[in-house]
Amino acid sequence: MHYPIGLLFDLLASSSALPWNITVHFKSFPEKDLLHCPSKDVIEAHFMSCVKEADALKHKSQVINEMQKKDHKQLWMGLQNDRFDQFWAINRKLMEYPAEENGFRYIPFRIYQTTTERPFIQKLFRPVAPDGQLHTLGDLLKEVCPSAVAPEDGEKKNQVMIHGIEPMLETPLQWLSEHLSYPDNFLHISIIPQPTD
């Protein structure tokens, strides 16, 4: 699928040594499993579609809709041409929230596991509890993917990975969303079996 390459690595090959050797096929395109990618425009459309969906969750689409087409273009071009400052000039607006709130409306996230039929878990989840406490990564997992978290006294069965690292479960989700999201503004989280070595 159109998944970020880092996510694919975490999910499928995190124990592999770098460089990651992959096999490229030129025949027998698996129509039933993969999306076609005929041009760069398709990738841009997919990327912008993810950014828009993330903003629908964070800001009811207000921030992305207030932007002009040229801002959307700058976001994409910044990513495509690896221009950090150009990208963040626009992206920082997507990371803001009203002063009176303690965070976004909902956190854009997707949790991936190779063991399930469903491609990913995505649900509505607020970064702040009604009492004002910031929800953590652990809170999120307990709520939407309880099988991923080991019981208090049990053995750790899984690794919870974002960008190749295992953030502490006590990390506030709002912070993760602002600092560890992918360029599409989503937190792509992989749950993989704990390596046995």
Partner 1 sequence: MEEDEFFGEKTFQHDCAEFIKHSQQIGDGWEWRTSKDSSDGYMCKTHLQIKSGTTVSHLGTSALVQTCLPMEEALEPPLDDFELTETATATEVIKYEYHVLYSCSYQVPVLYFRASFLDGRPLTLKDIWEGVHECYRMRLLQGPWDTITQQEHPILGQPFFVLHPCKTNEFMTPVVKNSRKINRNVNYITSWLSIVGPAVGLNVPLSYAGAASQDE
61 binds partner 1 (CB under 8 A): yes
Among 82, 85, 100, 117, binds partner 1 (CB under 8 A): 117
Among 17, 25, 31, 99, binds partner 1 (CB under 8 A): 31
95 binds partner 1 (CB under 8 A): no
Q: CB of 109 within 8 A of CB of 191?
A: no
Least distance in angstroms from the C-beta of 124 to partner 1? 5
98 binds partner 1 (CB under 8 A): no
Name residue 143's amino acid.
Answer: E
Residue 16 per-residue DSSP state: S
Among 24, 32, 69, 146, binds partner 1 (CB under 8 A): 32
Alpha-carbon 35 to chain mean position: 19
Nearer residue to partner 1 within complex by CB, 90 or 145: 145
Alpha-carbon 115 to chain mean position: 19
120 binds partner 1 (CB under 8 A): yes
Number of residues that bind partner 1 (CB under 8 A): 26
142 binds partner 1 (CB under 8 A): no
Name 8's Cβ contacts closer than 8 Å, sequence gap at least 6. Answer: none
Q: CB of 132 within 8 A of CB of 102?
A: yes
189 binds partner 1 (CB under 8 A): no
Q: 77 is written with which tokens?
A: 């071009």
Least distance in angstroms from the C-beta of 107 to partner 1? 11
Among candidate residues 157, 119, 123, the one with its CA nearest the CA of residue 8 = 119
**Surface-to-core class of residue 86, CB atoms within 10 Å of its CB (0-12 exposed, 13-18 middle, 19+ buried):** middle
Q: Where along the sequence are the contacts to partner 1 (CB under 8 A)? A: 1-2, 31-36, 42, 45-46, 49, 52-53, 56-57, 61, 108, 116-120, 122-124
